[in-house]
A and B are shown apart, each in its own frame.
Chain A
């Protein structure tokens, strides 16, 4: 069996950034496995701009952002297996993969970085009744067909869901000559960023119907229309409010799910709130030596934050590999304070009132009392409010926010002195609206 120091699974931005960072952390023997025919991942179809503002201080398109990492992978000569699917990972870090050239093979890894990304929720996931004609696409599928394969998906389009991909695809379809009849949001506010509502919908006079959803898809061979209903305060369709819109295409932008079948095969525990692995501050999962980064952990807003997380995971994985070579897998350099007990019994970070999730979910104190960023997402829109980190009966930290939005990740930094106070007791993070 071949043996490498780190196997990275997934060749999108998360995987490439992890592989690059692992090499830069001093590991020579890094292997990246990608199932597509080229590196770059989903960014290759995200041809719009808005990427890289934090990382490169430039406004790049998806392919441009990707190509920077592809270039760096080449410079560092990092081995990549393309057209290769990982079938299974074991808890003792053996990776079973398959491709046309080698057949089925196993490679043993000192550490594994999971970077499989996420996939889209589809019609089945949201149970839209009606017939099953052609012409129903997820936004990402339509994006790939139009931007890479050169197929136009339809002429009269109804879009359900106001995630950023949906908004961007409404503009893209319009540019390519389709008529987007409307974009529907089940909730009273759009899911994506306001700037995308402005530059994708308002710029092209595409109607945004808040509090509306599709209750039936009509058509035999091809979609011929959709029945649209208004929704109530609980986002449920209001009977009697249905209206028929003629269209030949329905596009769904109704959420993303971290893709964790492989994680489960390795025994990695998932967080029901994120849909991704439970990770500590080094992005180590519940299985020692298996790390995770990017949208496989939780769905990020910006690729800039994905690559930042990948570098954290890669450093963690490199530390694990270098530590086990010295026979001291659990010891991390520069660590000298009495936080050893936390490594075995980590502090839990729990989402309290108003929060959908918090990442990382565990703190082990592996990097001593270094500052630590918590990433969290709220469940609904908040006006003037504060985010509070509670520790036992005390408030460890409280920060004010003018507005909190489920479409935007919040970052909360715990500084050195706050990290020093964390020991044994679980942290609870909450959002509280002040009113006004």
Chain B
């Protein structure tokens, strides 16, 4: 009798619906409490294959700042977040960098690239 019965707070938009997902197993799930279709998709995915976009920074040398903001260009499995952080923490890039530039391709085989979320130039020497 150990079916699935979970309440999930939807993170798709600011409304934050509380979505109830129930079912005997992952193939037979019913979803309720969501105000839109995207909520249903999110809730089902959250049960079967939870994923998140990972957003952090990498060390940058000779840039106008010490850290360059980066994101994965697609969602990665939730359990890959901390392993990916370890890889990103070892990375080091050199300025200048353009927004969208790939910093780490296909991180840990997730299919997601880690990309720069801003451009950063080399500051003029004072």
Contacts and interface: CB of A to CB of B under 8 A. Distances in A.
A199 B11 contact: yes
Contact of A149 (B10, B66, B81): B66
Contact of B59 (A61, A150, A408): A150
A202 B7 CA distance: 12
B67 A202 contact: no
Given A148-B65, A149-B65, A150-B67, A48 B55 contact: yes
Interface in A33-59: 37-38, 44, 47-49, 53, 59
Nearest to A407: B14
Contacts, number: 79
A175 interface: yes
B34 to A, nearest CB: 13
Contact of B9 (A147, A148, A176, A198): A198
A202 B119 CA distance: 32
B13 A63 contact: no
B64 interface: yes
A301 B99 CA distance: 26
Interface stretch (A189-197, A211-219, A289-297): A189-197
Contacts of B18: 194
Interface in A234-287: none
B13 A67 contact: no
A301 B118 contact: no
Contacts of A37: 64
Contact of A47 (B12, B64, B69, B82): B69
Given A61-B71, A147-B67, A194 B9 contact: yes
B16 interface: yes
Contacts of B117: 47, 61, 63-64
Interface of A: 37-38, 44, 47-49, 53, 59, 61-64, 66-67, 146-150, 172, 175-176, 193-195, 197-199, 202-203, 301-302, 408
29 contacts: A38-B64, A47-B56, A47-B117, A49-B53, A59-B53, A61-B55, A61-B117, A62-B69, A64-B99, A64-B118, A66-B118, A67-B99, A67-B118, A67-B119, A146-B67, A147-B69, A148-B67, A149-B67, A150-B57, A150-B59, A150-B65, A172-B56, A175-B56, A194-B18, A195-B16, A198-B10, A198-B11, A203-B78, A302-B14
